[in-house]
Amino acid sequence: MTAWVFVDTNIFFYTNADHEPVRQHLAAQWLERLWKEQTGRTGIQVINECYWNLTRKISPALTADQAWDFVQSLFEWNPQPVDAPVLTRARDIERRYRLSWWDSLIVGAAQAQNCSVLLTEDLQDRAIYGGVTVRNPFLAAMAEITAEYVTAPAAARPYRGRGRPRSIRTESR
């Protein structure tokens, strides 16, 4: 089974960014493949950011109706809601890895959906956050990224508190 891949806002954004033809093409290839394989995942936060960026950050900006039509199609990806468990997970991530709050929410949503890969250009490529590996889709080839993660996604594990790692002791009899 191919691993679940969480897609951040910038990949969706670039599919509509005519001013970035190379990234637009690569982003479109990623979305086409993830849609075909049905392995793409995203979150409500991503959809919110995408709508806002599409109506304000590209030139010419999409109309509200055009942007809504685009983001509404992302509902098919079963986006992860920002709920109490994701917020709690994000707080743990923020403290443990010292990521921004918004990045912590993205990583938390990816973990909640058991994603092995997070496609984004906003975090360090190949960084690993609790079983989720960040990959920049504009730096690495699609075949390279997907070949590395063709196993079933690991179940998300809750974080341990801070402090020294616990030692494993074996009892001698």
Q: Which residue has the tokens 């079963």?
A: 78
pTM greater than 0.75: yes
Beta-sheet strand order (sheet of 117-119): 40-41, 5-7, 117-119, 132-135, 128-129
Q: How far is 104 from 3, CA to CA, in rounded Å?
A: 21
Reported as a pLDDT band with limits 50, 70 and 90, residue 154 is very low
Q: Calculate the average pLDDT of the chain.
A: 86
Delineate the domains of the chain, giving CATH numbers in brackets: 5-148 (3.40.50.1010)
pLDDT digits (tens, 9 = 90+) for 67-125: 999 999 999 999 999 999 999 999 999 999 999 999 999 999 999 999 999 999 999 99
Q: b or e along 116-144 (b: 16 or more beta carbons within 10 Å of the residue's beta carbon)?
A: bbbbbbebeeeeebbebbbbbbbeeeeee
Please tell me the predicted confidence (pLDDT) of residue 147: 57
Q: Which residue has the tokens 């191919």?
A: 2
Query: What are the distances in angstroms from CA 162 to CA 93, 94, 127, 173?
Result: 11, 12, 20, 32
Q: How far is 10 from 170, CA to CA, in rounded Å?
A: 48
Q: How far is 94 from 171, CA to CA, in rounded Å?
A: 36
Reply yes or no on whether the pLDDT at 141 is more than 80.
no
